[in-house]
């Protein structure tokens, strides 16, 4: 029947056009940012600090600040998150308590990032007295990424075939030894995927660091983790809303956007490579 063919062709066209729209939008975004920011990228931009009212110079302090704060967030959330996932997956039975815990973790992953910022301000900056600092911001970002890490680690652990676990125990290993020597190494790439994903999330978030430590301008690199710091996403935010010559610094803003996107892409590509290496190693 011809009308059926036509309607099916129409459906086919609609579906394909959806993907085309998505690729066009995102392609436009990326091409626009790279096209406008490319000219600014260079040795000075990437490795020098800003000068002359941030209209010249580079964004090294922002890159450094972002790096430090994501490391701190990882150092906080990785051990706790991995341990939590291991405990939930290996040591506990599947009862209503663990179901509730897993549900809470999933729900807390969807809390808006600004709420974590509010929480970080109240607890780390104020109550614990760390003040606005790399430490406060890092801990806040660590909280933000904790649920993601727990979930991805649990998935990675689940993918390990039970035969590996049982084999180790059969050979006389204690549970702890089995976890350390067999389970974690074989799920390492999955865990690493989770860590890198949470790192890239932490690097790109602005809301949690708004009041927990990010600074508009600071001439030197932060001297310790109790100092304020400049950060890439916050720098882009202030260059586009608070600077006195927004139009003049727009190329720098574009450049910052390019660096941010490149950072995030680089981390995701690392994840991709890790995952495919792991596939080859374990599943032939």
Residues 15-74 binding other proteins (CB under 8 A) are 15-19, 21-22, 25-26, 29, 32-33, 51-54, 64, 68, 71
User: With contacts defined by CB under 8 A, how many residues of the chain interact with other proteins?
Assistant: 114
In the complex, least distance from residue 216 CB atom to other proteins, rounded to whole angstroms: 5
CB within 8 Å of 5: residues ≥ 6 apart: none
The answer to the question of residue 211 lying near other proteins (CB under 8 A) is yes
Q: How far is the CB of 39 from other proteins (least distance, A)?
A: 16
Q: How far is the CB of 193 from other proteins (least distance, A)?
A: 11
Q: Which two tokens stand for residue 101?
A: 């815990």
Name the minimum Å distance from CB 231 to other proteins.
Answer: 10
Which residues on adjacent β-strands are paired with residue 50? 57
Single out the segment in contact with other proteins by CB under 8 A; choices: 38-46, 79-87, 153-161, 163-171: 79-87
**C-alpha dihedral sign at 146, 266, 256, 29:** negative
Q: What is the DSSP string of 132-153?
A: SSHHHHHHHHHHHHHHHHHHHH
Angstrom CA distances, 80 to 46, 109, 142, 190, stand at: 33, 16, 10, 16
Which three-class secondary structure state does DSSP give residue 230? coil
Binding to other proteins by CB under 8 A, coded x per residue (else -) over 116-155, reads xxxx-xxx-xx----xx----------x--xx--x-----
Minimal distance, residue 184 CB to other proteins, in Å: 10
Q: Output 161 or 245, the one with its CB closest to other proteins.
A: 245
Instruction: Select 269 or 281, whichever has its Cβ closest to other proteins.
Output: 269
Q: Which is nearer to other proteins, 45 or 116 (CB)?
A: 116
Task: State phi, psi for 51 to the nearest 5 degrees.
Answer: -145, 170
CB closer to other proteins out of 180 and 281: 180
- Contacting other proteins (CB under 8 A), which of 1, 3, 43, 91? 91
Q: Give whichever of 15 and 170 is closer to other proteins, judged by the CB atom.
A: 15
CA dist., res. 73 & res. 197, Å (int): 12
Based on its alpha-carbon atoms, the radius of gyration of the chain, rounded to whole angstroms, reads 23
Put residue 131 in one of left, alpha, beta given phi > 0 → left and psi -120 to 50 → alpha. Answer: left
**What residues have CB less than 8 Å from 177, skipping those under 6 apart?**
168
- Residue 86 Cβ, how far from other proteins at the closest point, in Å? 6
Q: Which of residues 221-260 bind other proteins (CB under 8 A)?
A: 221-225, 227-228, 233-234, 236-238, 240-247, 250, 253, 257, 260
């Amino acid at each position: 029947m011809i009308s059926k063919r036509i309607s099916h062709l129409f459906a086919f066209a609609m579906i394909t056009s959806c993907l085309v729209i998505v690729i066009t939008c995102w392609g436009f975004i990326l091409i626009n940012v790279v096209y406008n920011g490319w000219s600014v990228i260079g040795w000075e931009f990437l490795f020098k600090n800003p000068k002359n009212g941030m209209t010249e110079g580079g964004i090294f302090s922002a890159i450094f600040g972002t790096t430090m704060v994501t490391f701190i967030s990882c150092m906080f959330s990785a051990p706790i998150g991995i341990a939590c996932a291991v405990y939930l997956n290996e040591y506990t039975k599947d009862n209503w308590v663990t179901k509730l815990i897993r549900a809470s973790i999933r729900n807390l992953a969807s809390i808006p990032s600004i709420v974590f910022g509010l929480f970080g301000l109240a607890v780390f900056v104020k109550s614990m007295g760390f003040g606005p600092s790399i430490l406060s911001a890092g801990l806040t970002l660590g909280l933000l990424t904790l649920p993601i890490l727990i979930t991805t680690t649990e998935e990675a652990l689940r993918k390990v075939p039970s035969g590996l676990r049982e084999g180790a125990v059969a050979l006389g290993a204690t549970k702890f030894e089995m976890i350390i020597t067999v389970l974690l190494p074989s799920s390492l790439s999955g865990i690493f995927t989770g860590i890198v994903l949470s790192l890239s999330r932490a690097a790109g978030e602005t809301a949690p660091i708004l009041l927990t430590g990010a600074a508009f301008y600071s001439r030197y690199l932060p001297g310790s983790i109790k100092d304020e710091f400049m950060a890439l996403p916050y720098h882009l935010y202030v260059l586009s809303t608070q600077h006195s010559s927004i139009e003049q610094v727009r190329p720098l803003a574009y450049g910052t956007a390019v660096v941010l996107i490149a950072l995030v892409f680089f981390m995701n590509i690392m994840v991709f490579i890790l995952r495919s290496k792991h596939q080859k190693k374990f599943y032939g």
